[in-house]
């Protein structure tokens, strides 16, 4: 199946710093990628839709200035958590649609962010 690589898998940072998470589609092109967040024992919540070459679409309640998304190429989307705070600690997962394979979403392995 298609592979989506997400890096890093685990990051610990100090409050106030910024963290960048990368999501790459390894064997296919993805014009659309999605970023999800999961808090412990809760469901995955869609944060934003990342579109190659255009601005991301954010879900209601997600601060676009805090969660910067860049989808500069057909195989790479990045999520930057700016000025991270402890309440941003969560599990972040990206996913991508391979445009010729129908509606299956392929997920990255996730990034566990812990903000001290």
Partner 1 sequence: DQQVKQNSPSLSVQEGRISILNCDYTNSMFDYFLWYKKYPAEGPTFLISISSIKDKNEDGRFTVFLNKSAKHLSLHIVPSQPGDSAVYFCAAMDTGRRALTFGSGTRLQVQP
| Contact (CB, 8 A) for 8 and 108 | no
C-beta closer to partner 1: residue 26 or 83: 26
CB of 55 to partner 1, least distance (A): 16
* Closest to partner 1 by CB, 42 or 73: 42
Which positions touch partner 1 (CB under 8 A)? 1, 4, 6, 9, 32, 34, 36, 42-46, 49, 91, 93, 95, 97, 103-110, 112
Nearest to 57 by CA among 43, 47, 65: 47
């Amino acid at each position: 199946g298609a592979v989506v690589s997400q890096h890093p898998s685990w990051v610990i940072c100090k409050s106030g710093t910024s963290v960048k998470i990368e999501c790459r589609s390894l064997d296919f092109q993805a014009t659309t990628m999605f970023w999800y967040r999961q808090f412990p024992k809760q469901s995955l919540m869609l944060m934003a839709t990342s579109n190659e070459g255009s601005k991301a679409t954010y879900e209601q309640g997600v601060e676009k200035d805090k969660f910067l998304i860049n989808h500069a190429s057909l195989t790479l989307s990045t999520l930057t958590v700016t000025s991270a705070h402890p309440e941003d600690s969560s599990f972040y997962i990206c996913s991508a649609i391979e445009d010729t394979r129908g509606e299956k979403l392929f997920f990255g392995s996730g990034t566990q962010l812990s903000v001290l």
